[in-house]
């Protein structure tokens, strides 16, 4: 199997962090989104959405969507568990991962795509970016509270929630999107997770 990857996008980054935390070695093949390689017919045959990452299995079947890929790999390689080890823990990890993606990462992406010169060839809507900037900080507040005195997002063991949230924060830095630094637990977590080897994946 191999993974089609782009180093500057958050969802491929999330997957690379996961692979590093699990100690999984899967070959990566770069698809340069900036050059439009993800819109070439040969790539669209693998993922008609043109999105990354894509996991291509040995028989040629392609899995898309980072979370689906992670869930598949987690089934194949359950240790160490990155989605919890009992029902409530798994539910809490999935809850926090979804909040991190849907309410934090997607908001950052909305700002980036509607303001960055990289996407100037597309229709950019300034109002959409402003609405995303003005979104209430409920997700940040919730995750800050869940972290509390713990080392990581879902407790003291790394999980897919850490992978998604760290990729989101790194994306915010690249996109010049400010994250409210008054959330002390989040800032402590971000600094600490950034020192893990997986953060450089």
Q: Examine the domain organization and report whether 69 and 105 are in the same domain.
A: no
* Chain Cα centroid distance, residue 134: 22
Q: Tell me the pLDDT tens digit for each residue of 144-185.
A: 999 999 999 999 999 999 999 999 999 999 888 889 899 999
Boundary of a domain, candidates 76, 103, 118: 76
- State residue 136's pLDDT score: 64
Assess whether pLDDT exceeds 90 at residue 128.
no
- Which of 32, 52, 76 is the C-terminal boundary of a domain? 76
Residue 68 CA to residue 101 CA, distance in Å, equals 14
Work out the mean pLDDT of the chain and round it to a whole number: 94
Structural domain boundaries, residue 144: 87-200
Q: Are 122 and 189 found together in one domain?
A: yes
Q: How confident is the model at residue 123 (pLDDT cuts 50, 70, 90)?
A: confident
Look up the CATH number of the domain holding residue 141: 1.20.1050.10
Using an 8 Å Cβ cutoff, are 174 and 10 in contact?
no
Give the tokens for residue 183.
Answer: 């959330």
Same domain, 180 and 99: yes
Q: In the prediction, which pLDDT does 132 show? A: 76
If one counts every other C-beta atom within 10 angstroms of the C-beta of residue 137, the result is 14
Query: Is the pLDDT at 79 greater than 90, yes or no?
Result: yes
Any domain includes 39: yes
- Is 55 in the same domain as 141? no
Task: Kindly report the three-state secondary structure assignment for every residue of 79-141.
Answer: CCCCCCCCHHHHHHHHHHHHHHHHHHHHHHHHHHHCCCHHHCCCCCCHHHHHHHHCCCCHHHH
d(CA 53, CA 28): 10
């Amino acid at each position: 199997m191999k993974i089609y990857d782009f180093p500057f996008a958050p969802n491929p980054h999330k997957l690379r962090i996961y692979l590093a935390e699990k100690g999984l070695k899967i070959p990566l093949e770069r698809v340069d989104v900036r050059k439009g390689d993800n819109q070439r017919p040969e790539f669209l045959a693998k993922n008609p959405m043109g999105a990354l990452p894509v996991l291509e299995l040995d028989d040629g079947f392609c899995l898309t969507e980072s979370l689906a890929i992670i869930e598949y790999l987690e089934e194949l390689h359950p240790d160490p568990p990155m989605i919890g080890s009992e029902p409530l823990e798994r539910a809490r990890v999935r809850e926090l991962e979804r909040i991190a993606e849907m309410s934090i990462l997607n908001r950052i992406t909305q700002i980036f795509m509607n303001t960055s010169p990289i996407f100037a060839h597309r229709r950019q809507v300034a109002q959409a970016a402003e609405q995303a900037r003005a979104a209430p900080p409920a997700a940040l507040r919730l995750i800050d509270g869940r972290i509390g005195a713990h080392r990581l997002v879902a407790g003291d063991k790394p999980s897919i929630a850490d992978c998604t949230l760290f990729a989101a924060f790194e994306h915010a830095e690249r996109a010049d999107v400010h994250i409210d630094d008054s959330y002390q637990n989040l800032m402590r977590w971000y600094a600490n997770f950034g020192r893990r080897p997986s953060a450089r994946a």
